[in-house]
């Protein structure tokens, strides 16, 4: 029989799903994430965000930016610590096409803990919330940040919330509210790379071509698998904003300089997704913003 939880999933996500047992808690997070996204109102990438209003126009600490090594302040700071990133997450994991990206809200681990990061220049402990992607088209690159003026094929964002705030809504109202990990991905002509958990996400993309569709990820996953084998000891960090409306200046950005190689045949699946207008969901990146003399820090490995 259909449980009330499943009923909610059908109601909120609005498309047919298989019979799955989903915890009330994960469902609440998915609903809240969708509500947060919709609270920003309708927006699209027709002008790479240059037509977005409010803080997106008037802000002075906006993202993304160009991360330039020679302009960065090299600092001796602790490495980022990834707590419970190797713990298996509860299943099912649900990935959604929200019209702007492929988005996965991250559930608790099987032990009931929430993976979190600290260290670096992070002002506290930041719990993982969700992961999504920005990409280009057949002949354009889609990363949001650039490193030394170079943009990459895809940029993955793993969004975290300061544990001192109860909700994402509260967190976005504060400069120390959020921390995002930015991972550059390079499309490579290899059939497969190492067994990244990322493959499990990308394998489901053909099932979420349509706006508002969702799919369950098969098998198990931990958050650490999203990072593959990139070097996490070297990264740029700075104070910036969400790269989608309302562009809240609430984010401590951490963008790794190492790049994750990923098969072209997997990345190509992103290009088939559609937005709410049934148009191809491509080039879903915001244009580069002014740094306005913000300090950009770089943590090098051998410090």
Binding site for Zn ion (CB under 5 A): 157
Strand partners, 105: 130
| Nearer to Zn ion (CB atom), residue 103 or residue 214 | 103
Torsions phi, psi for 36 (to 5 deg): -60, -40
Q: How far is the CB of 16 from Zn ion (least distance, A)?
A: 28
| Nearer to Zn ion (CB atom), residue 90 or residue 161 | 161
The catalytically annotated residue of 100, 145, 157, 160 is: 100
| Cα 211 to Cα 274: distance, rounded to the nearest angstrom | 6
* Residue number closest to Zn ion, CB atom: 157
| Nearer to Zn ion (CB atom), residue 244 or residue 291 | 244
| Nearer to Zn ion (CB atom), residue 157 or residue 299 | 157
Q: How far is the CB of 23 from Zn ion (least distance, A)?
A: 26
Burial class from Cβ neighbours inside 10 Å (0-12, 13-18, 19+) for residue 181 reads buried
Q: How far is the CB of 200 from Zn ion (least distance, A)?
A: 20
Vertex 102, ends 123 and 223: CA angle to 5°?
45
Q: How far is the CB of 110 from Zn ion (least distance, A)?
A: 27
Q: How far is the CB of 143 from Zn ion (least distance, A)?
A: 10
For 15-50, b/e burial (b = at least 16 CB within 10 A) is bebeeeebeeebbebbbebbeebeebeebbbeeebe
Asked if 100 is an active-site residue, the reply is yes
| Nearer to Zn ion (CB atom), residue 116 or residue 285 | 285
Q: How far is the CB of 216 from Zn ion (least distance, A)?
A: 22
| Nearer to Zn ion (CB atom), residue 45 or residue 91 | 45
Which residues are catalytically annotated?
100
């Amino acid at each position: 029989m259909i449980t009330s939880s499943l009923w909610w999933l059908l109601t909120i996500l609005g498309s047919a799903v298989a019979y799955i047992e989903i915890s009330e808690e994960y469902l609440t997070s998915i609903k809240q994430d969708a509500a947060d996204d919709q609270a920003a109102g309708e927006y699209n990438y027709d002008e790479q965000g240059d037509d977005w209003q409010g803080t997106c126009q008037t802000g002075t600490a906006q993202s993304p930016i160009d991360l330039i090594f020679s302009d960065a302040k090299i600092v001796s700071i602790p490495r980022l610590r990834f707590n419970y990133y190797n713990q298996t997450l509860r299943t099912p994991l649900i990935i959604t096409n929200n019209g702007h990206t492929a988005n996965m809200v991250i559930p608790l681990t099987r032990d009931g803990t929430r993976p979190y990061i600290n260290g670096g220049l992070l002002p506290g402990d930041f719990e993982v919330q969700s992961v999504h992607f920005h990409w280009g088209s057949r002949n354009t690159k889609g990363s949001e940040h650039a490193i030394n003026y170079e943009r990459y094929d895809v940029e993955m964002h793993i969004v975290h919330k300061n544990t001192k705030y109860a909700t994402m809504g509260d967190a976005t109202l504060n400069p120390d509210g959020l921390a995002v990990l930015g991972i550059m991905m390079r499309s490579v002509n290899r059939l497969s790379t190492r067994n990244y958990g990322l493959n499990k996400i990308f394998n489901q993309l053909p099932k979420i071509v349509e706006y508002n569709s969702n799919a369950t990820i098969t098998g198990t996953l931990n958050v650490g698998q999203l990072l593959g084998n990139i070097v996490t000891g070297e990264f740029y960090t700075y104070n910036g904003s969400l790269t989608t409306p309302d562009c809240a200046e609430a984010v401590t950005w951490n963008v790794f300089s190492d790049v994750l190689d990923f098969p072209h045949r997997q990345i190509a699946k992103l290009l088939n997704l559609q937005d709410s207008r049934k148009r191809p969901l491509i080039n879903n990146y915001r244009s580069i913003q002014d740094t306005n003399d913000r300090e950009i820090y770089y943590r090098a490995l051998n410090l």
